A and B are shown apart, each in its own frame.
Chain A
Amino acid sequence: AQTVTQSQPEMSVQEAETVTLSCTYDTSENNYYLFWYKQPPSRQMILVIRQEAYKQQNATENRFSVNFQKAAKSFSLKISDSQLGDTAMYFCAFMMLDGGSQGNLIFGKGTKLSVKP
């Protein structure tokens, strides 16, 4: 079974600084997607970034980028120029592309990020 581990329950960062959130996963599959979702106090689940496992290039979305290390099964999220609106719970998630997973997103337990002014 696939598992996703986020080892940092809470983190804080000063506004305008850079922070990195860690995520590791365990799978024997070769074909999968990885995601970071953001959950602000409103509780909405918002997609931050997606990485396809077959792509070597790390995904980026504006101030958000990932460091995807497939052999190490590591998928960290870097937030540059942190803003107050980045304060949220961040979830790392894994999804198999083949086999019987049927689109099931496997989530980590989350990292609560606080951006301080």
Chain B
Amino acid sequence: EAQVTQNPRYLITVTGKKLTVTCSQNMNHEYMSWYRQDPGLGLRQIYYSMNVEVTDKGDVPEGYKVSRKEKRNFPLILESPSPNQTSLYFCASSFRQGRRAGTDTQYFGPGTRLTVL
């Protein structure tokens, strides 16, 4: 089954304790992206990757890191989480078309609910 998976689905942690949220897709998509969803603000892009070893900042990158060492995986790293990073996080992926990034439909993972105390 074609899908985007995220782990963990729920996480409660404390301020300053490094954590990683994994994202994996089995559709051979070049493009992957992370969004956060907050009440009243909708979804906002954190980071994206157009292919292996190619990553760049989205609209709200502060406090986050990513890496893309393999095509299927795109982990989100919070090196020193703070309470304002409490949110619902989504990973998404899509095919690219030529030089255009994310021009095909983005498919979303199930979401990770993160609470930072």
Q: Which residues of A contact B (CB under 8 A)?
A: 33, 35, 37, 42-47, 50, 91, 95, 97-98, 101-105, 107-110
Contacts and interface: CB of A to CB of B under 8 A. Distances in A.
A104 to B, nearest CB: 5
Interface of B: 31, 33, 35, 40-45, 48, 50, 56, 58-59, 88, 90, 92, 94, 100-103, 105-108, 110-111, 113
Contact of A107 (B42, B48, B113): B42
A37 B90 CA distance: 13
B50 A102 contact: yes
Contacts of A110: 42
Contacts of B108: 37, 44-46
Contact of A103 (B31, B59, B107): B31
B110 A105 contact: no
A103 B103 contact: yes
Most chain B CB neighbours (cut-off 10 Å) among A35, A46, A97: A97
A68 B4 CA distance: 29
A61 to B, nearest CB: 12
B101 A103 contact: yes
A109 B42 CA distance: 5
Contacts of A44: 108, 110-111
Contact of A104 (B40, B102, B113): B102
Nearest to B106: A105
A13 B40 CA distance: 23
